[in-house]
Amino acid sequence: MNGRDRDTEGRARSARPRDGLGRPLAYGEAGVERQPEGVLRTPAETVEQAQRLLDAGMPFHAHEVFEDAWKSGPAAEAALWRALAQLAVGLTHAARGNAVGGARLLRRGATALAGDGDAAGGTAGGGAPYGIDVPGLVRWARELAGRVEAGAAVDAAAEAPRLGPPPGRPKPL
């Protein structure tokens, strides 16, 4: 057996602590708690948990929440959650200083979200699946991608998108 870190099921998984952007730290350093993998959440719980993590400047961890929804939810909704995960990873890369990767993933996620209602949200008639402000997220991602490519430094918490409608506007049904 090699000396690789393993999780409780024996899969290779680094036990090194990580910072808020998911970067590995040295063993023994204080990191942030990792998101547990494979958690089944309702769509509302997914959006709520991911928003808390985004607001805290932890888009890497929000990506893991979206990834759980993408991998465990209905196949018809996978494209929505995958696109949101791409936006979170794009923000992660941008905040880490990787302008090329950050802009690419932000645009990829925006393009996926901008698709037809079924591909983006798995909801009949399109609209705002689970109260997610799809048009607002598409605008946010494309605008941020442009600024990142132009050399803007990115603070993940300051740039965190609102997943739902802007404050003061009711959530769509």
In tens, the pLDDT along 123-152 reads 333 567 999 999 999 999 999 999 999 999
Q: What are the CB-based long-range contacts (under 8 Å, 24+) for 6-15?
A: none
pLDDT at 7: 59
Q: Mean pLDDT, to the nearest integer, of 88-106?
A: 97
Nearest to 89 by CA among 141, 152, 139: 141
How do the residues of the chain divide into helix, strand and coil, expressed in percent and rounded to 5? 50, 5, 45
Looking at every residue in the chain, the average pLDDT score rounds to 84
pLDDT at res. 92: 96
d(CA 30, CA 111): 37
pLDDT at 116 over 70: no
Average pLDDT over residues 92-99: 96
Residue, of 100 and 27, whose pLDDT is higher: 100
Can you tell me the mean pLDDT for 25-37? Answer: 77
* 84-98, 99-113, 158-172: least confidently modelled range: 158-172
Report pLDDT for 166: 61
Query: Contact, 145 vs 106, CB < 8 A?
Result: yes
Q: Do residues 120 and 80 touch, judged by C-beta distance below 8 A?
A: yes
Compare 73 and 19 and report the one with higher pLDDT.
73
- Span 80-87, mean pLDDT? 97
pLDDT digits (tens, 9 = 90+) for 51-83: 999 999 999 999 999 999 999 989 999 999 999
Alpha carbons 90 and 28: distance in angstroms, whole number:
28
Residue 42 Rama label (left phi>0; alpha psi -120 to 50; beta): beta
Burial of 131 (0-12, 13-18, 19+ CB in 10 A): middle
Residue 25: pLDDT band (50, 70, 90) is confident
How many other C-beta atoms can be found within 10 angstroms of the C-beta atom of residue 64? 23
